[in-house]
Amino acid sequence: MSLSQVQALAAHALVAVASGKNLSDELAHIIAHTPELTAQDKGMLQDIAYGCQRHLGSLKFMLGKMLNKPIDNEALQSYLLVALYQLNHTQNAPHAVVNEAVNHIAQIGHGQYRSFANAILRRFLREKEGLNKACRYDDVAKHNLPVWLQKTLQNQYPKHWHNIATAFQAHPPLTLRVNRRHADAEQYLAALHDAGLNGKILDDYAIRLAQAVPVAQLPRFAEGW
């Protein structure tokens, strides 16, 4: 499946969540009804969808900094957020992310948003460093928490809410179960090292990564290891 198709599915999931649906349920529905998704496609889809939600405050903040007025088209905004997440938080080639996103956005509203989307995404690439720095000075963008939750923390823990909010963003450890039909923990740990990743063997077929990464970056993941 092409990058643009995975982007489209992720954007669809974001639109569903914005309307009140559960992200996990929506992804399960999408995967069940898209049999052509490979294991690598599924990993990328989940990484983008969950990543967009995890960084929603900062993504919306940076997008807003580049707009003259709010976007009133939910699909368009979701496509842009997906692309911004990829440009800011993944190793996807920037030109590929921009081109694929713009081509798909061109299908919304009879192509009227194509130039707009292209300008926004290319501007982000030029101003990426400055926009990320600006996030440090906005509480919602810095902590990526819903406004209601941030206000609750501020009211209930006025002295410690910043530390609590920071802890919310900490990545949990990623533990892998190695498919014994392909390798054991020692063999897969060697493959991780070759890919520049470190981990600790927990048992004959389990490894805990030193630092969590998107599953699409795991060696041999698409092959079912």
Number of C-beta neighbours around residue 36 at 10 A: 7
Helix axes 114-135, 56-65, angle to 10 degrees: 120
pLDDT on residue 221: 84
DSSP 16: H
Task: Tell me the per-residue pLDDT of 81-116, one tens digit each, with 9 for 90 and over.
Answer: 999 999 999 989 999 999 999 999 999 988 999 999
Helices (H), the chain: 3-18, 23-32, 39-54, 56-65, 74-89, 94-105, 114-135, 139-143, 147-156, 161-168, 185-194
Domains and CATH numbers, the chain: 3-137 (1.10.940.10), 142-170 (no CATH), 175-223 (3.30.70.1170)
Rounded to the nearest integer, the mean pLDDT of the chain is: 93
Tens digit of pLDDT for each residue in 159-178? 999 899 988 877 777 899 99
Provide the β-strand partners of residue 199. 209
- Cα separation, 4 vs 2, whole angstroms: 5
